[in-house]
Structure 1
């Protein structure tokens, strides 16, 4: 766990980390915090406390469960997207694509960032799969709100 945490922090990741370990000395705790842990719990712990600490980590990391851009609302907790209060039927990949676009609304999101978010880091960009999902998403949310920036990526316009 410590080696993984050190690699994670060395790569520049700011992902929240809660260390759950059998090590319980003060020195062990200090080493975890110095390696980049955000919180620390000793096994076995009360499940209620673990959940509360995880919620606090997510809250401090700035997680937003509900995004609203114009007439679109996306709820990450329930996986529901609505437009003007009407439920939209999106595939998992369309949902993830829209989430990334809504988080960066008004900004151009690069094609590579979208592909990594939707398909994973190992995906090659030699196919038009992203364009197919963008096309389908445009039909569902409205063509005018999603703009292509040629050679760069896509932008969800803020109203």
Structure 2
């Protein structure tokens, strides 16, 4: 799964040079020239990193990140800014920025900071059992580095198994996770979802504990 980066930069030539640099490094890039466009893109895509300028049209970079953090978007963020004032930089970190670079900057330094931040964020947002990984940042399940196309309920159930790997996940735990308390759920409905997971990760990976629930074998 490629690493996707959103770049918010209203200077077209500077933005295109950053795009060219990062695409050559293998990153999947989306370039926005105003804050509203960037905000709209965050609704449509899952990003691994935000690169944000501050002084951009419609929604400035600081207001944009503030809005994203309010919505519990924890995507790592680096500001690329010409601001020199410590007050602006402090404000960026208070809002939830992870790093910043003052323009003009060395492109090699940008790459070093991007790779370092991505390594840290992936370690914090992924829980792996062997080759099976729960990516909580992007709300997906990976097997050997490839995303499994699960529905929402399948993702929720697989997440429950991964967080409780080696332990019994009871039918009651599954019902509480996947359905509302008022819904009447049969054992057959649970088996349908469990069997779907087994199809993707291997039938031997999830063991039936008769009359109690299931267990993910680490």
TM-score, reference length from structure 2: 0.43
Deviations 1:61-83 (A, max 9, x none): xxx73221121011122122111
Equivalent residue for 1:70?
A: 130
Deviations 1:89-123 (A, max 9, x none): 11111100000111111100100111110112223
Q: Is the 8 A contact 1:105 1:157 kept in 2?
A: yes
Q: Looking at CA atoms only, which structure, 1 or 2, has the larger radius of gyration?
A: 2
TM-score, reference length from structure 1: 0.58
Deviations 1:40-70 (A, max 9, x none): xxxxxx9849948x77xxxxxxxx7322112
Q: Is the 8 A contact 1:115 1:123 kept in 2?
A: no
Number of residue pairs matched by the alignment: 104
Counterparts of 1:127 and 1:114, CA distance in 2: 10
Q: Report deviation, 1:87.
A: 1.9
Question: Gaps (5+ residues) in structure 1?
Answer: 1-45, 56-63
Equivalent residue for 2:169?
A: 109
Q: Say which structure, 1 or 2, has more relative contact order (CA 8 Å, 6+ apart).
A: 1
Of residues 154, 159, 162, the one that matches 1:94 is: 154
Q: Report deviation, 1:127.
A: 5.1
Equivalent residue for 1:154?
A: 214
Equivalent residue for 2:182?
A: 122
